[in-house]
Chain A
């Protein structure tokens, strides 16, 4: 069951919506935040590429489509317990319809516009559910007494997982199969496959089996109802004027007409007695076959419906055609006029970008990013997302493709690097210490990246702000680690004497369990009124499963408020794997909170590692290490990093 379908603009205004079951607005908000703005790819299930990606939130599944050129988002929300296969089709068709119908209006100010989309949506809904006719029983029963409810269906590949039909029914249904089930007939499914929506209880099965042939009266009922629904869409005059056209065109649009053409009469003559069949597939077919005769019997109302139908088909078809032609356009541009025009527009602007236009500049952009030490995976994904943003867009006047691409890439980089919420460490510390417990910050990372050094830099920064800091030596593995920290602490004590801060070391020697030491340090700090505990951990390879697994226990026992990972600016393509593995090593519900990128002074403008790490995880860069001194720690300036990357 579909819960809600919404059409909203990227500026946040809901232009049209259909609600079956109210869904709290935070559900769609979190889709927009997490997927569309923050681009957290790990929250999205991409499936096998043939279906749309899905996003789950609190028991709901969302599928969506973006119409970039119109700035629209189409979202369908349904319970994650049900399985709707026709959702993708519905979203695509509704997107095509809506943009086709209101394209002009959407170019202007949308906040004032009204979109009488209801009849179109209802009709489209009926059509997609009809074409996917393997419905489950419950949904089917609902269909029979409500005007309009989408049945949930179990799969597009008909009959694969269905039980064999009841013996008594086989005779009645089998010959008619081609009529109801155009899809299966082209798929060459064996004939006995039960067709359309078959209720699971034997009783109702028999009922539908019998009534199906005599579906004519009910069909008419439904149509009248649907017509009432769609009445506001077109006036009476209009419809009668279009009558002829509607009749003529209808045949063209339905390729599968022939299948049922001669069986049509039979199905009608079989049984007129029962009135309750509401087979959605069945109901659509005949007016496609023989519109004139149906028009005579049912009268005016029906033509309104057909008119709508035809109009919708046209819009969807033209949308599809446009899509195809735009992908094919690259090949046709060979004609000299097109080439010259394209060249001209390339310089002057106002050119609509296609995949082919972007291919070469994008390749150049990718190489450029790779040269800046961005990991290949991140560079490729960045270029892909920029390409997705740009295809179909018109370049501004007097801008070339290259410069358009540059600004788009710069925007993408800014968006990635800008943290979602503020990274004010001092603020967080004061919030935590006001609750009478120390703020716990721990540092992880692979060997030799400068964990201890950066820890001391952070300690120095905190000391300057008059905090009492306890440094816990939880690296009980590498010999000399504790001594190294001791030296740092001595230096810091010396340096901070005048400032008024206070720093001590908490050590338990080597060989003990790091997690326990960390936990002890926190307790000790609490008893002795320290403001901040900084925990140094042992360096470990991110692909060493044994060592990485101990991090989970560490996170559980020490309960750090913040876990920062130190990464080298020099690291290159390994950055992505490092960031990802560390982020996933703390158990469910806990990840990294930020990165410290060390040795930034040694790489010049090749600061790509920042991008790789942030891109892989969506976790912000908190500090940059820029030198050998205690004071050489910096916050991130997004603007300057982007400039460096694009230079």
Chain B
């Protein structure tokens, strides 16, 4: 039957038919509810900017998290699961985005809020950190990575090796994220703060040396990684023979590694010293780190 017939569906839809009325009523009532639910759901996981705490085990990540979330570091042990805390910047630091706002602006308070994600540093559990780097986190954009390290351990070879390795892996992932991106604009850059913790200890490497030592450690990893065996990925997956090009950290550069080499890949690395636990009962020294966080907000 044609659409202009007397009993076609179109005619019916415009006729005062009880079914049509019921349907219309249903749509009118349900639509706002569904819409509300939809929008509310989308906004519900408060999309605060997120910062990721990474670093080798025992560096002081969890201590830092507890210090920032309730003023004093609590006793900690090796973490085996990640954890998150919502934090607010202290009044004394102003986030970069609200530099021009009045202090009394109520929206300034919201701009100060952020989420800090602590991850375990144990060798077997680093996938928590590395996977939250690659996939976009559910609650809010990843605004920065805080790589916490133990400045006292960095003075020893074993500690430096472990730290260098982890930092290398993190930086390589960030670089891959940049090169793997196909769109012209590229993903938003994720800056890295290397927080040299435990500066209160007298065995700690002085701040001026931390950066040099780290670069050397990363360079060592970079050197051996480039020559290491390929891994088993292709052979075992019964396969489509195509060999993946192995990407190394700062491949295009000759000479020893420096954090500057990463600027091409939009990775900004800043090294700052501090301590979660104060010097003989004095307060903790995290001002510089707070300042960095504020800059990213």
Given A37-B80, A418-B124, the answer on whether A637 and B232 have CB atoms closer than 8 Å is yes
A38 touching B232, Cβ below 8 Å: no
**B213 shortest CB reach to chain A, Å:** 16
Contacts of B157 in A (CB 8 A): 431
Given A13-B66, A465-B227, A604-B238, the answer on whether A637 and B233 have CB atoms closer than 8 Å is yes
**B255 shortest CB reach to chain A, Å:** 19
Confirm or deny: A381 has a beta carbon within 8 angstroms of a beta carbon on chain B.
Answer: no
- The digit string for A432-464, where 1 denotes a CB below 8 A from any CB of B, is 000000000000000000000000000001001
- The digit string for A370-391, where 1 denotes a CB below 8 A from any CB of B, is 0000000000000000000000
Confirm or deny: A134 has a beta carbon within 8 angstroms of a beta carbon on chain B.
Answer: no
- The segment out of B70-78, B137-145, B185-193, B202-210 that lies at the interface is B70-78
Size of the chain B interface, CB-CB below 8 angstroms: 46
- The segment out of B8-16, B81-89, B256-264 that lies at the interface is B81-89
- The digit string for A592-634, where 1 denotes a CB below 8 A from any CB of B, is 0000000011001101000000000000000110110000011
A635 touching B231, Cβ below 8 Å: yes
Contacts of B165 in A (CB 8 A): 422, 424
Of A419, A420, A635, which is within 8 A of B230 by CB?
A: A635
B83 touching A111, Cβ below 8 Å: yes
A634 touching B230, Cβ below 8 Å: yes
Given A414-B127, A421-B123, A427-B161, the answer on whether A111 and B66 have CB atoms closer than 8 Å is yes
Contacts of B228 in A (CB 8 A): 424-426, 635
Confirm or deny: A644 has a beta carbon within 8 angstroms of a beta carbon on chain B.
Answer: yes
- The docked-state distance in angstroms from the alpha carbon of A339 to that of B237 is 41
**A598 shortest CB reach to chain B, Å:** 13
Within 8 A of B (CB), among A94-141: 109-112
B65 touching A111, Cβ below 8 Å: yes
Nearest B residue to A423, CB-CB:
B228
**B112 shortest CB reach to chain A, Å:** 17
A13 touching B76, Cβ below 8 Å: yes
**B170 shortest CB reach to chain A, Å:** 14
Confirm or deny: A8 has a beta carbon within 8 angstroms of a beta carbon on chain B.
Answer: yes
- The docked-state distance in angstroms from the alpha carbon of A420 to that of B122 is 7
Nearest B residue to A29, CB-CB:
B78
Given A461-B229, A637-B236, the answer on whether A426 and B224 have CB atoms closer than 8 Å is yes
B75 touching A10, Cβ below 8 Å: no
- The docked-state distance in angstroms from the alpha carbon of A262 to that of B76 is 52
Nearest A residue to B161, CB-CB:
A427
B238 touching A605, Cβ below 8 Å: yes
B236 touching A11, Cβ below 8 Å: no
- The docked-state distance in angstroms from the alpha carbon of A534 to that of B101 is 68
- The docked-state distance in angstroms from the alpha carbon of A431 to that of B81 is 33
Confirm or deny: B120 has a beta carbon within 8 angstroms of a beta carbon on chain A.
Answer: yes
B124 touching A626, Cβ below 8 Å: no
Confirm or deny: A32 has a beta carbon within 8 angstroms of a beta carbon on chain B.
Answer: yes
**A418 shortest CB reach to chain B, Å:** 5
- The docked-state distance in angstroms from the alpha carbon of A624 to that of B79 is 31
B235 touching A601, Cβ below 8 Å: yes
Contacts of A244 in B (CB 8 A): none
Confirm or deny: A636 has a beta carbon within 8 angstroms of a beta carbon on chain B.
Answer: yes
Confirm or deny: A490 has a beta carbon within 8 angstroms of a beta carbon on chain B.
Answer: no
- The docked-state distance in angstroms from the alpha carbon of A502 to that of B144 is 47
Of A38, A111, A427, A624, which is within 8 A of B124 by CB?
A: A38
Of A109, A605, A634, which is within 8 A of B85 by CB?
A: A109
B232 touching A28, Cβ below 8 Å: no
- The docked-state distance in angstroms from the alpha carbon of A14 to that of B66 is 10
- The docked-state distance in angstroms from the alpha carbon of A210 to that of B119 is 60
Taking Cβ atoms with an 8 Å cutoff, the residues of B that contact A are: 57-58, 62, 65-66, 69-70, 74-86, 118, 120, 122-125, 127, 157, 161-162, 165, 220-221, 224-225, 227-233, 235-238
Task: Show 12 A/B contacts (Cβ-Cβ < 8 Å), sorted by A.
Answer: A10-B79, A12-B78, A13-B74, A13-B83, A111-B66, A415-B125, A419-B124, A465-B227, A624-B235, A634-B229, A634-B230, A635-B229
Pairs A-B, 4 closest by C-beta atoms = A12-B79, A11-B83, A637-B231, A14-B75
